[in-house]
Amino acid sequence: MKKIKYIALSLFALGFIACENDTLDDLRDRVNQGTEDLPDLSAGTADFSNFVSIGASFTAGFTDNGLFIASQENSFPNIMATQFSKIGGGTYTQPMMSDNFGGLILGGNPVLNPANGERLFAERLVFGGAGPVPLQSINPVAMSTTDFALNNPTGPFSNLGVPGAKSFHMIAPGYGNLANFPAAANPYAIRLTGATPNASMLDLAVAQNPTFFTLSEVGGNDVLGYATSGGDGSNPITDTATFDFALNALVAGLTANGSKGAIGNLPDITSLSFFTTVDYNPVPLDAATAGFLNSAQGYGAYNAGIVQAYAFLVATTPLTQAEADAEIAQRTITFAAGEGNAVVIVDEDLRDLTGINMQLQNFRQATSDDLVLLTAGSLIPQGGGTATPLADTFVLTPQEQQEIATATAAYNSSISAAANANGLALVDLNSILVEASTTGIAFDDYFLNTDLVFGGLVSLDGVHLTARGYALMANAFLEAIDETYGSNFVASGNVAKAGDFPTNYSPLLQ
């Protein structure tokens, strides 16, 4: 059940089979009671001396709508590197941001979105008491000092996570070349390339001759961009052939020197709180407002026009009356006094009636099968979804959700095949998110789920993880590595502990 009707915001039990199905917590308890010693840490057949990571936002440590020093320190590969250091792992380097404010600037100035003048690379979100708010609304002096043209750090970097990168971006030359910005370069990639601006993320990794690697979120942004834009067509899903080419190139390059590694599959992103926080029927109305919306000045004329248009179609086309009645019922818009009114949305998959009546746009009221995006939360109190229908960019219809599910399943099939063919550890991130979003998931003394703000797993932006969530993810990678390469991070207790990682950061963090 959703706990938040709308948000004013624009924008596992980790199980390990030891000798007798013991969990890590069971082992810890017996050690604490003096009844059993944990074994010494072993690397198995893996060599962690030179560890690199390729990925996108999760690899980088992106959280609360930003990348900043504290979030990078709690990135899941950096958490893993801490454990690797206990058994021969070398120094793990990251392209550290200049502050804890998040966001980026260019040439000393904010990079603005030409469409609305807002900061293109916004500062992080913090908890404002009722929900997430921009950091600057609480701490006005929190201005980014990370300039991706003037003060980039010097590599090479072990962490090659690039927020926003799609699968094919990870192998694209020039994706980190400032000269290609903004058309074909990513500011976070620009901060990685240094003296080799045309090097791809894969080139930068291979040049370091890694002995072990993680490959994560490959394909994540290939569907996420489509999902967070409501499937409006502005950010299409990457076709499977393109994804497969990029994935196979990444795996081939990273394993060419015999390096071992772990690859994560993709979760069902529509289970994240960005898609599940805002209800489809969050609107309370008084009798007068409901009456006006139902009148001819509201949606009354639209409803009448729908009936007339379908009468014409029944008379002139093979459409049956039963079919027409079903579509009329789907498209009829009505409101009532009280709670629980469904928002009105634009659904591009409805039958186009504008050829009969130009006023009959593709409107209908949302149902429980629709996902209203977090970005719609600030519009609903202002009449969005009632006086003004919510545009396609704010809603995922069942058809659009199916497109995402189909692509994700295809990507995961390819990821599994690549892992099996190359002897890589496969991390089932999909199952972890399914558990977290349904029953919740235990992590040491904590219980995590995907609720926004209070669930503990997903950060304030509704998409990326909290530090504690990244710790859980790191442990999932370590468990898969144990299973594939015979190491024993889990059995020896050398894993991240939930209590060492926060679920939110102070707005005073600088």
- pLDDT at site 12: 28
Distance of CA 137 to the CA centre of its chain: 24
**What is the per-residue pLDDT across 286-307, written as a single tens digit (0 to 9) for each?**
999 999 999 999 999 999 999 9
pLDDT of 191 above 80: yes
Q: Where in the chain is the domain with CATH 3.40.50.1110?
A: 24-277+398-500
H/E stretch holding 504 reads: none
* Other beta carbons less than 10 A from residue 20's beta carbon: 6
- pLDDT at site 25: 53
**What is the per-residue pLDDT across 413-460, written as a single tens digit (0 to 9) for each?**
999 999 999 999 999 999 999 999 999 999 999 999 999 999 999 999
C-alpha distances in angstroms, 481 versus 48, 90, 257, 487? 11, 18, 19, 7
Using DSSP bridges, classify how beta strands 371-372 and 395-396 pair: parallel, antiparallel or unpaired.
antiparallel
Q: Is the pTM of this model over 0.85?
A: yes
Mean pLDDT, range 324-343, rounded to an integer:
98
- pLDDT at site 130: 86
- pLDDT at site 27: 52
Assigned architecture for domain 24-277+398-500: 3-Layer(aba) Sandwich (3.40)
**What is the per-residue pLDDT across 36-89, written as a single tens digit (0 to 9) for each?**
689 999 999 999 999 999 999 999 999 999 999 999 999 999 999 999 999 999
Core vs surface per residue 185-208: b (16+ CB within 10 A) or e: bbbbbbbbbbebbebbbbbbbbeb
Burial tier of 12 (Cβ tally within 10 Å: 0-12, 13-18, 19+): buried
Q: Which contacts qualify for 489-493: CB closer than 8 Å, 24 or more apart?
A: 489/41, 489/83, 490/14, 490/16, 490/24, 491/16, 491/18, 491/24, 491/27, 491/38, 491/39, 492/38, 492/39, 492/40, 492/41, 492/42, 493/24, 493/27, 493/28, 493/31, 493/38
The rounded distance, in Å, linking the Cα atoms of 505 and 465 is: 13
